[in-house]
Amino acid sequence: MAEAGASPSAGAGGGGGVGAGGSPKPAAAKDGVDGGTDSGEGGGGAARQEPGLRLFFALWPDSATSAALHARARALHLECGGRAMRRDTIHLTLAFLGDTPAREVERLQALAAQVEGESFALALDRVGSWKRNRVLWAGPSIVPPALAALAQDLEARLRAAGFALEERAFSPHVTLVRNARVAPAEAPLPPLRWRVASFVLVASERSAAGARYRVIGRWPLKQRG
């Protein structure tokens, strides 16, 4: 059952290539914040006067996982420069909707409640970079089948309902640093294990202090076994 209105607030990609460890790196994707290819403002003409929200579906880490990811972000910042993401911004984007009429929130919440998925363990054991927009990220060398299935089911339902999404393959990653001066050294990393038990719908809100995230719906994943 959805927990709409929950609000762990938060403010949080170029092309392909090879990340640390030698595996193909994910293509850059929008993840709901300022900077790099993640911005993508919608048009503001006369046809778009109704209230809107900047929305995306994501995996939101628990307190221990967000602390561990933030520690990794700080370490990368010391090594590579740039701006480490605030702890309350850290997430993994499942589907980016961008500027969306506020009236669509209820339809999105109803759609998300129909998504079927299982909880899973995610091992973030890679760090890579996108040179064009100087983003450093963490990701899995092996994508759990349950994660791939969740993203595919959500995407299919969103497209069937008429929502526009990026035309690119799902590439799971967590943005850790922006505006990095150099790429991180390629070295084996101890896997950071994240037990994923739910997914969320998030509104990205801009202010003078920067982006802030507001979770406006949460849906549990089925426990296995």
| Residue 173 known to be catalytic | yes
Contact of 148 with 45, CB cutoff 8 Å? no
- Alpha helical stretches, state H, 50-144: 63-80, 105-113
The separation between CA 20 and the C-alpha centre of its own chain, rounded to angstroms, equals 20
Q: Which of 134, 173, 178, 218 is labelled catalytic?
A: 173
Tokens read off for 124: 């973030």
Transcribe 57-71 into DSSP letters: EEE---HHHHHHHHH
Please report how many Cα atoms fall inside a 13 Å half-sphere around the Cα of residue 206, on the Cβ side: 10
Q: How far apart, in whole angstroms, are the C-alpha atoms of residue 132 and residue 106?
A: 37
Tokens read off for 28: 């850059």
Q: How far apart, in whole angstroms, are the C-alpha atoms of residue 63 and residue 183?
A: 28
Q: Which of 25, 72, 91, 218 is labelled catalytic?
A: 91
Q: Which region, left, alpha or beta, applies to residue 24 given φ > 0 means left and ψ of -120 to 50 means alpha?
A: beta
Residues with catalytic roles: 91, 173
